[in-house]
Amino acid sequence: MAKRVVGIGGTLRSGSSSELLVRAVLAACARRGAETRMFDGPALAALPHFNAESPERNDAERALVEAVRAADAIVIGSPGYHGGVSGLVKNAIDLLEDIRGDARPYFDGRPVGLIVSAAGWQAGGVTLAALRGIVHAMRGWPTPAGIAINSVEQKPFAANGSVADAGVAAQIELQAAHLMAFALETAA
């Protein structure tokens, strides 16, 4: 059966670089045989603020929770906002509290590719480290290859949104290779 890879990330900015990078990793996983599903900025904006005390969930919340529950690998992409993960992306991650009680809670046993786009190297580095901390807390396995781009110094995209920069493309291929190798290795 094809491995299922779920992407979560991006901003509400049109042409969001963090979204394009997550989509690029998903495409690289698809070339390796994966089925992919993307939850981009608008999809994440359809999630209400997570409320642990309310059992009510809308269709957007259910779709994300079920996709992560069934995923073999996950890709998370955030902009660096004020030195950290954006609220939009963190709210989506917090919703995964709904799978805490599963036999396979949170990201348990699965590889998670992490991506940050920030206007400076400092925010890129600290936000990537913060995402790794989150994934460890949620029992996932951050891939060795994380990706941080500096959106001021790097313009890695072609006009159609594909990745045109050879260095960034190589990082994307490496992260996809790590995700798929881990997912295949741990297949039941």
Ligand X SMILES: Cc1cc2nc3c(=O)[nH]c(=O)nc-3n(C[C@H](O)[C@H](O)[C@H](O)COP(=O)(O)O)c2cc1C
Q: Which residues of 162-183 are buried (b: 16+ CB within 10 A; e: fewer)?
A: ebeeeebeebbbbbbebbbebb
Q: Least distance to ligand X from the beta carbon of 61, Å?
A: 22
Q: Which stretch binds ligand X (CB under 6 A): 8-16, 32-40, 104-112, 153-161?
A: 8-16
Letters for 101-120 (x = contact with ligand X by CB under 6 A, - = none) are ----------------xxxx
Binders of ligand X in range 48-107 (CB under 6 A): 79-83
Number of residues that bind ligand X (CB under 6 A): 18
Rounded Cα–Cα distance for residues 156 and 174 (Å): 16
Q: Which residues of 36-46 are buried (b: 16+ CB within 10 A; e: fewer)?
A: bbbbbbebbee
Beta strand pairing call for 147-150 and 35-39: unpaired
| Contacting residue, 3, 4, 5, 18, with ligand X by CB under 6 A | 18
Q: Which residues bind ligand X (CB under 6 A)?
A: 10-11, 13, 16-19, 79-83, 117-120, 123, 151
